[in-house]
Amino acid sequence: MGARGWFRRETIGTMVERIFDFLGATSWVGLPEHVQERAKLSLLDLIAVGLAARDTDLARIITAHAAEGFGGDTPFLFTPGWASALGVAMAGGMTIDAIDAHDGFNPAKGHIGCGLFPALYALAPPGLSGTEFLTAFVNGYEMGARLSITLHETAADYHTSGAWVAVAIALAGGQMAGLTPAQIAHAAGIAEYHGPRSQMMRCIDHPTMLKDGSGWGAMAGVSAVGLARAGFTGAPALTVEGPAWEDLGTRWYMTEQYYKPYPVCRWAQPPVEACLELQRRHGFVAGEIAGIEITTFHESTRLATMHPKSTEEAQYSTSFPVALALTHGRLGPEEVQGAAVADPAVHALSAKIVMREDDWANAIFPGRRVARVTVRLESGAVYESDWHEPKWDATAPASEAELRAKFREYVEPVVGRVQADAVEAAVMGLERLEAVELFGLITE
pLDDT digits (tens, 9 = 90+) for 350-375: 999 999 999 999 999 988 999 999 99
Q: Which of 6-20, 291-305, 393-407 has the lowest mean pLDDT?
A: 6-20
Give pLDDT, residue 396.
94
Q: Model confidence at 202, in pLDDT bands (50, 70, 90)? A: confident
Q: How far, in Å, CA of 169 to CA of 227, rounded?
A: 13
Calculate mean pLDDT across residues 326-339.
94
Residue 6 pLDDT exceeds 60:
no
Residue 136 pLDDT exceeds 50:
yes
Q: How far, in Å, CA of 110 to CA of 212, rounded?
A: 8
Q: Model confidence at 199, in pLDDT bands (50, 70, 90)? A: confident
Give pLDDT, residue 364.
96
pLDDT in tens, 380-390: 999 999 999 99
Pairing of strands 353-357, 382-384: unpaired
SS3 322: helix
Alpha helix ranges (H) inside 155-257: 162-168, 174-176, 181-194, 200-205, 214-229
SS3 280: helix
Residues with Cβ within 8 Å of 218's Cβ and at least 6 positions away in sequence, in order, are 89, 90, 92, 93, 115, 116, 118, 119, 122, 162, 165, 166, 169
Q: How far, in Å, CA of 213 to CA of 148, rounded?
A: 14
Q: Model confidence at 430, in pLDDT bands (50, 70, 90)? A: very high
Give pLDDT, residue 13.
64
Spatial contact of 105 and 260, defined as CB atoms under 8 Å apart: no
Q: Model confidence at 314, in pLDDT bands (50, 70, 90)? A: very high
- ∠ CA 84-87-93, nearest 5°, is 135
Give pLDDT, residue 12.
52
Backbone angles phi, psi at 199, to 5 degrees: -85, 105
Distances (CA, A) of 19 to 23, 249, 414: 6, 10, 40
Give pLDDT, residue 201.
86
Calculate mean pLDDT across residues 294-301.
96
Q: Model confidence at 7, in pLDDT bands (50, 70, 90)? A: very low
Calculate mean pLDDT across residues 278-297.
97
Give pLDDT, residue 63.
98
Residue 203 pLDDT exceeds 80:
yes
Residue 342 pLDDT exceeds 60:
yes
Percent of the chain with pLDDT over 90: 90
pLDDT in tens, 82-131: 999 999 999 999 999 999 999 999 999 999 999 999 999 999 999 999 99
Give pLDDT, residue 9.
46
Q: Model confidence at 4, in pLDDT bands (50, 70, 90)? A: very low
pTM recorded for the entire structure? 0.94
Residue 326 pLDDT exceeds 80:
yes
Q: How far, in Å, CA of 110 to CA of 95, rounded?
A: 16
Calculate mean pLDDT across residues 188-213.
91
Residue 2 pLDDT exceeds 50:
no
pLDDT in tens, 49-84: 999 999 999 999 999 999 999 999 999 999 999 999
For the chain, what's the residue count? 444
Give pLDDT, residue 15.
79
Residue 156 pLDDT exceeds 80:
no
Give pLDDT, residue 5.
44
* Nearest partner of 15 among 241, 344, 167, judged by Cα: 241
Q: Model confidence at 155, in pLDDT bands (50, 70, 90)? A: confident
Residues with Cβ within 8 Å of 370's Cβ and at least 6 positions away in sequence, in order, are 270, 296, 297, 361, 364, 387, 388, 389
Residue 243 pLDDT exceeds 90:
yes
